[in-house]
Amino acid sequence: MKAFEEKFTAWMDGQLAGRELEEFERELQRREGGLAAAEKERTVFKSLSAALKRHASAPELEFPEVFNQQILDRMESVRERRTVPWRLRWLVWAGVGCLAVAAGLYQTLIPKPHPVQGSYWAEVKSVRVADPSLWAEPVSTSGEEVTLIWIDGLDYLPESYALR
């Protein structure tokens, strides 16, 4: 079923006929103003349409090529004004995206240095013992920031290792 506006336009143009015309005119009767107001509007529309057809003719252009070129130039300038800010916005968002990716890669791939306290700092990662009967392991304490080397299998401590 057509919307009321479409049917009204078709009725104004005289394109409705038969049962569809009867149904639409009944619908107009039910609306505010009724069929008489719509008929009056239709008469005004037809007289205005006829007057426009008789008197409204476009003037002949002296130089149509120049007119067409001016229109095309204006359209091109409008298109350029619309595309430049779009490109600038795209460039800004691309830069922001690249910075975000670079920051993410920096945070995940670059190792962070340990905080240094005092004038000397070292970290024991592993211990290797030349004597196969000995076993050694680094033991770290996080609270005191001290790393000890635990040696197991020594029967005695040589005199050169004595604390002084």
DSSP state of 113: P
Q: What is the pLDDT of residues 88-114, one digit of tens each?
A: 788 899 999 999 999 999 999 988 776
The Cα–Cα gap between 63 and 68 comes to 9
Rounded to the nearest 10°, the torsion over CA 113, 119, 124, 129 is 150
Whole-number pLDDT of residue 1:
47
Backbone angles phi, psi at 130, to 5 degrees: -75, -35
Report the pLDDT averaged over residues 73-86: 75
**Predicted structure pTM score:** 0.34
The string of pLDDT tens digits covering residues 13-71 is: 888 899 988 888 888 888 878 888 888 989 999 998 888 888 877 778 888 899 899 99
Show the DSSP H helices in the chain as ranges.
4-12, 18-30, 34-55, 64-109
Instruction: Give 157 or 148, the one with higher predicted confidence.
Output: 148
pLDDT band for 150, please (50, 70, 90 cuts).
confident
Domain boundaries, the chain: 4-55, 61-112, 116-156
d(CA 146, CA 122): 10
Picking from 114, 116, 115, 136, the residue whose alpha carbon sits closest to that of residue 127 is 136
